[in-house]
Amino acid sequence: MIIIFCPRANATGGTELLHQLGYKLNLFGFDAKMYYYGEDNGLPATHPHFVKYSVPVLDSVSDSPDHIFVYPEVMASSLEGIKSQLTHSKHVLWWLSVDNAGMTPSLEKEISEDNTLIHFVQSYYAMEYVKNQLNIPEERVFRLSDYLNYNFLNIGENSLRDDFVLYNPRKGFERTSRLIQKSAQTIKWLALSGFAPEEIPQVLQCAKVYIDFGEHPGKDRFPREAVCCGCRVITGKRGAAANDFDVPIPDRFKVDDDLNDESILDLISLLIKDYDQTSELYNDYRDRTREEFHSFETDTLITFSNLTGVEIDGTGLDGSSLISLISSENETEQYRQALYYITVYRIKGFTIDKEFLLLESKTRTGLGEKEAALYLENLSGSY
């Protein structure tokens, strides 16, 4: 059994990812359950936003050699005590961020010296930290990133946009507030707050630029959501934004802390004016983000097959045999099994063509993943 620790009744990008992991694991035939921790505030332990993932819930946990416990990085300081009570189980610390973990020199030393703890990393930024700062050997570090809600897959370039700039008032607002004051007569600004989750895609689709000068403790969702919705993105160079793996945008759109406000405003004005001419500059970031759900699935199947010692079925088959198997599973409405073999096909690196994308679209439709199915159907048109 795989037990995923999650703060109760809490809705963030990180807690959604914990539920997404449970959902994918159960699709692949693993036995995954949520365990909610924290004070009971009278609300349902599973936040209403995450009920759709249908991950079973445990009221208590027990020790077993067959159990794998997955903890978000914010629980790093609690691990020593938890592990002392669950000595026969495997334990995984998932670095959904680096900067939110509350690490201290003594805690870093404790984590570094734990030679049984397994580490998942959501970002390249976290990978560098775990390997270089904590000196964790490569065999105990696994890449397991994340993916955006499927609602962001099918939002494209929309020419009917207003000339305004979106910003997150909770991140980097000291600089943003100066920019707003200096450009109040020339640039329209809108804070990306106070919106329901289902409203965010529509808001992003109406703007031309999204800025984020705050900390990037991990591979943040807002910039990826913005680029998928057609916004031109400008960031600072803090945390994960400093590298080209987590935020793959042209370097001139990543501004140093000491860059003067006037230069930033010139950059913003340029992207507003040349919106239609700058799309291709963000193609790599946009395409990578849209394909993250595939990467998450292949990483999940590989990683947990490794941790559980369960061999991945179908790896000895060639591409045509796997396609025949997927088609057969679809015909009998065994969509979970079809997704399993689709993921094996992708792991093996076989050719992705129009026919395969349409076959996968049928599987996603059967699983109720309608936005993913539509994305694949639209993508097949480019082949």
Rounded to whole angstroms, how far apart are CA atoms 55 and 27? Answer: 10
Please say whether the dihedral angle defined by the alpha carbons of residues 229, 364, 44 and 10, taken in this order, is positive or negative.
negative
Instruction: Quote helix, strand, coil % in the chain, to nearest 5.
Output: 50, 15, 35
> Does residue 157 surpass a pLDDT of 80?
no
> Does residue 192 surpass a pLDDT of 70?
yes
Half-sphere exposure of 106 (CA within 13 A, CB side): 2
Sheet bearing 32-37, strands edge to edge = 57-58, 32-37, 2-7, 68-72, 90-95, 118-121, 141-143
Summarised one tens digit per residue, pLDDT across range 317-337 is 999 999 999 999 999 999 999
φ, ψ for residue 333, nearest 5 deg: 60, 30
Task: Please state which of the ranges 34-43, 150-159, 298-307 shows the lowest mean pLDDT.
Answer: 150-159
Rounded to whole angstroms, how far apart are CA atoms 282 and 279? Answer: 6
CB of 126 within 8 A of CB of 98? yes
Angle (nearest 5°) at CA 366 between 364 and 369 = 40
Q: Supply the pLDDT for residue 172.
A: 83
Summarised one tens digit per residue, pLDDT across range 60-98 is 999 999 999 999 999 999 999 999 999 999 999 999 999
Domain boundaries, the chain: 2-143, 150-289, 313-380
**Which class would CATH give 150-289?**
alpha beta
Long-range contacts of 299-305 (CB under 8 A, 24+ apart): 299/142, 299/143, 299/144, 299/145, 300/21, 300/24, 300/25, 300/28, 300/144, 301/28, 301/340, 301/343, 301/344, 301/347, 302/347, 303/120, 303/142, 303/144, 304/2, 304/25, 304/28, 304/30, 304/68
Confidence category of residue 159, pLDDT binned at 50, 70, 90 = low
Summarised one tens digit per residue, pLDDT across range 289-307 is 999 999 999 999 999 999 9
> pTM for the whole thing?
0.94
> Does residue 197 surpass a pLDDT of 90?
no
Q: Supply the pLDDT for residue 171.
A: 84
Summarised one tens digit per residue, pLDDT across range 1-11 is 999 999 999 98
Mean pLDDT of 218-224: 94
Summarised one tens digit per residue, pLDDT across range 98-118 is 999 999 999 999 999 999 999
* Residue 48, C-beta contacts closer than 8 angstroms, at least 6 positions apart: none
DSSP 310: P
> Does residue 234 surpass a pLDDT of 70?
yes
Total residue length of the chain? 383
Mean pLDDT of 136-143: 97
Confidence category of residue 198, pLDDT binned at 50, 70, 90 = confident
Place of tokens 């570090």: 141
> Does residue 127 surpass a pLDDT of 90?
yes
φ, ψ for residue 218, nearest 5 deg: -150, -165
Tokens (6 digits) for 122: 């959501």
Place of tokens 């800025």: 211
Identify the three-state secondary structure at position 7. Answer: strand
Identify the CATH number of the domain defined by range 2-143: 3.40.50.2000
Closest listed residue to residue 315, CA positions, set 348, 291, 343: 348
Q: Beta strand 90-95 with 32-37: parallel, antiparallel or unpaired?
A: unpaired
Tokens (6 digits) for 348: 């093996």
Rounded to whole angstroms, how far apart are CA atoms 195 and 180? Answer: 21
